[in-house]
Structure 1
Amino acid sequence: MSVPIEMYEFANEAFYLAFETKDLNAMSHIWCEQGDPVCLHPGWPTLIGREAILESWRGILTNPHQSQVSFFDARVSLINDESAAVVCYEKTDDQIMVATNVFRVEGGRPRMYIHQAGFCAHPPHQA
């Protein structure tokens, strides 16, 4: 089932909104329930599987010292009729990182299957 590119943009925005508002319930609805989703937080070991990923987000979202995160310059690249990659930059209080978010259609809507964020040696200027 093909979904419009705007739905991938919306899913990416929903991910960062859940991150920004520290909403674990919303974060849970963003991640795929089928297969073995993957998450690579900067400096962390690879997390495979929904349970491990949501446990990591529980720790991040309940950490009172966690920096606010926003995103900019998101670009969607369709992979096939049921998946797309969104590459964007993440801005925290003191750094800019680059992120790749891969979404696949599950239950008629894009859900996150892979999230990888890492340090960016030469970050762009934010518009």
Structure 2
Amino acid sequence: MMPLRRTSEKAARASAAKTEGEISLADEALFANDTFYLAFAEKDVEAMSRLWAKRHPTICIHPGWPAIHSREKIVESWERILTNPDQPGIDFYNPVAHEAGNVVLVTCYEELPGGVCIATNGFVVEDGLRLFHHQATPCANPPPPKGAGDARGTR
């Protein structure tokens, strides 16, 4: 599992590398994925809203929910989730980035008190990278975490 404290350290390193022009689109997506889960864990509605694409079509499928197809409704759904005092904490592990043109899909596992979900987070180039797709579903047999804090995965 990737502790969020280590995620913040990785985010700082990725930001420095980006400034120096040394970061790939896939690595930038892994950084954006870290930012998504940090916003989720910290229940930061504003940060979550900033992550979502404004021009590209968006879709979000929370576990057990129907698909949500508009940015406005997606942000509203996250506001309901993140402002819910009973919302449990979350962590994630084993992120892997799959780059295809100006889109990067990141798969990872979400660890919640009740179990583990497999998630796909899609990022598109739009004023940097923005989230355009999130889908999470329960995973019956999740793998164990690979090296703690290693967000590079196998591409």
Shorter-normalised TM-score: what interval?
over 0.9
- Equivalent of 2:137 in 95, 118, 123: 118
SS at match of 1:43: coil
Q: What root-mean-square deviation, in Å, do the aligned CA atoms of Structure 1 and Structure 2 show? A: 1.3
Aligned residues: 124
In the TM superposition, residue 126 of structure 1 has moved relative to its aligned partner by 2.9
Q: Which residue of 2 aligns with 1:32?
A: 53
Structure 2 partner of 1:15: 36
Alignment-derived partner of residue 53 in structure 1 = 74
Unaligned runs of 5+ in 2: 1-23, 147-155
What's the TM-score, normalizing by structure 1? Answer: 0.93
- String of CA shifts for 1:28-76, please: whole Å, max 9, x gaps: 1100001320000000010001000000001000001111111100000
More strand as a share of residues? 1
TM-score (norm. length: structure 2): 0.77
**Bigger Rg, which one:** 2
Q: Which has the higher helix share?
A: 2
Distance in 1 between the 2:44 and 2:36 partners? Answer: 10
Give the structure 2 partner of residue 87 of structure 1: 107
Question: Among residues 104, 125, 128, which one is paired with 1:105 in the alignment?
Answer: 125
Q: Note if contact 2:25-2:99 (Cα within 8 Å) is conserved in structure 1.
A: no
User: Structure 1: which 4+ aligned runs deviate by more than 2 Å?
Assistant: none
